[in-house]
Amino acid sequence: MSCVLLWVSCGPKENVNSLLGLSWRAQRRFRLWSRISFASGVSAFSSAIAEPSRSSEERVYEVVLKQAALVREQRKETDERALNLDKPVEGDFTNGDVLNAAYDRCGEVCAEYAKTFYLGTQLMTPERRRAIWAIYVWCRRTDELVDGPNASHMTPKALDRWEKRLTHVFEGRPYDMYDAALSDTVSKYPVDIQPFKDMIEGMRLDMGKSRYNNFDELYLYCYYVAGTVGLMSVPVMGIAPESQASTESVYNAALALGIANQLTNILRDVGEDTRRGRIYLPQDELAQAGLSDDDIFRGQVTDKWRNFMKGQIKRARMFFDEAEKGVSELSSASRWPVWASLLLYRQILDSIEANDYNNFTKRAYVGKVKKLLSLPAAYGRALLSPQNMVKR
């Protein structure tokens, strides 16, 4: 427990908190709260949601602790046990062929929607790779409910049905092939259901909300739709057996990568989002910069806008920096796709700068050459062994 407290009280999160303007009182409340929730064996997330006085960061961190606790026990077991996770599943199931076909279909979806990421998964062990595909497909399907071609027919009731279906998946009662793959994955790896439920919650939020008053509200949204992905993926990708880092610190880095990606996504898509009547940028920060909703809808690149964007980009980069510290702690075969995703997504921020902050009418993207160059760069970083973040 002392490692957790040490990390929470003087580790990198504190820097992020203070740089993001989390008040001293809030930080202290957060530390006290972390101590209580950790000592009592980590209470349920639902009770955290019920307490409105805590910041989003505090509330989200409870899910991090819960997922980390689930994994911590497994890390204590021998390497031999870890090796078993990577053994082929054939023979484990009477319907092994069906299951293999289900995973193959997940791989096809992944290859279709996210080519670079699919390529990145090729270095992973076959068992882990297909589990990541299954998680990817569930996330993609969830996102498509509110972002895809049938989004206009989506209702809160339909999301409730999707959530019910999710609980069936975790109970081993899949509805279709993709669900069957996920059901198998969550039965093999210590993946908690909460991040999955929270992603659905993010879709609910997105349906009913088009403005975010402050960064605290935006942080919660980013956790729901992207931080959750980090928490879902790490139990499958695995932490390096030689890593000395605390489980919580690795999960915190995973959370940070999700937040960084989503913040970047928001900064890239400002123009696109206004055409859907949405502004994801924190309203109080816009006002401080002397900008109104009308300015965003008008879409003029002014000095006020440039200055505002500089601050937003700086914050997104801080979350990427935070995430970097955790990647080397992952199992060696899982590092490459994560580095690749980090390096590629972070370059979108460079591209926004190169576009002179015109994210109203110019879409920031990473060109093919830069994308290709990022892959060996990611590979090089993946060779680095754990950095000994914080001792367990």
Ligand X SMILES: CC(C)=CCC/C(C)=C/CC/C(C)=C/CC/C(C)=C/[C@@H]1[C@@H](COP(=O)(O)OP(=O)(O)O)[C@]1(C)CC/C=C(\C)CC/C=C(\C)CCC=C(C)C
- Please identify, using beta-carbon distances, which residue of 316 and 327 lies nearer to ligand X: 327
| 374 contacts: CB under 8 Å, gap ≥ 6 | 340, 343, 344, 347, 366
Binder among 11, 190, 195, 230 for ligand X (CB under 6 A): 230
To ligand X, the closest distance from the beta carbon of 303 in angstroms equals 28
Q: What mask of x and - would describe binding to ligand X in positions 240 to 279, judged by CB under 6 A?
A: ----------x--xx--xx--xx--x--------------
| 204 contacts: CB under 8 Å, gap ≥ 6 | 156, 159
To Mn ion, the closest distance from the beta carbon of 147 in angstroms equals 4
102 binds, among Mn ion, ligand X, none (CB under 5 to 8 A by kind): none
Distance CA 101, CA 159 (A): 27
| 350 contacts: CB under 8 Å, gap ≥ 6 | none
- Please identify, using beta-carbon distances, which residue of 225 and 291 lies nearer to ligand X: 225
Q: Is residue 212 within the footprint of ligand X (CB under 6 A)? A: no
Q: Is residue 147 within the footprint of Mn ion (CB under 5 A)? A: yes
Q: Is residue 144 within the footprint of ligand X (CB under 6 A)? A: no
Q: Answer positive or negative: Cα dihedral of 384, 65, 76, 246.
A: positive
| Residues 183-212 interacting with Mn ion (rule: CB under 5 A) | none
- Please identify, using beta-carbon distances, which residue of 147 and 295 lies nearer to Mn ion: 147
- The identity of residue 391, as a single letter, is K
170 binds, among ligand X, Mn ion, none (CB under 5 to 8 A by kind): none
To ligand X, the closest distance from the beta carbon of 120 in angstroms equals 6
Question: Can you tell me which residue has the tokens 């760069």?
Answer: 377
| Residues 316-375 interacting with ligand X (rule: CB under 6 A) | 323, 326-327, 330, 337-338, 341
Q: Is residue 132 within the footprint of ligand X (CB under 6 A)? A: yes
What value does the CA radius of gyration of the chain take, rounded to a whole number of Å? Answer: 21
To ligand X, the closest distance from the beta carbon of 29 in angstroms equals 26
User: Which residue has its beta carbon closest to ligand X?
Assistant: 326
Distance CA 169, CA 216 (A): 32
Q: Is residue 229 within the footprint of ligand X (CB under 6 A)? A: yes
- Please identify, using beta-carbon distances, which residue of 17 and 233 lies nearer to ligand X: 233
Tell me, what DSSP letter sits at residue 280?
E
Distance CA 70, CA 361 (A): 45
Closest CA to 180 of 300, 99, 74, 110: 99
- Stretch in the footprint of Mn ion (CB under 5 A) among 2-10, 144-152, 199-207, 208-216: 144-152
Closest CA to 267 of 326, 337, 218, 323: 218
65 binds, among ligand X, Mn ion, none (CB under 5 to 8 A by kind): none
330 binds, among ligand X, Mn ion, none (CB under 5 to 8 A by kind): ligand X
Q: Kind and range of the H or E element at 169?
A: helix 156-170
Give the burial class of 258: count Cβ atoms within 10 A of its Cβ; 0-12 exposed, 13-18 middle, 19 or more buried: buried
Q: Is residue 139 within the footprint of ligand X (CB under 6 A)? A: yes
Q: What proportions of the chain, in percent to the nearest 5, are helix, strand and coil? A: 70, 5, 25
Residues at the interface with ligand X (CB under 6 A): 117, 132, 135-136, 139-140, 143, 147, 225-226, 229-230, 233-234, 250, 253-254, 257-258, 261-262, 265, 323, 326-327, 330, 337-338, 341
Residues at the interface with Mn ion (CB under 5 A): 143, 147
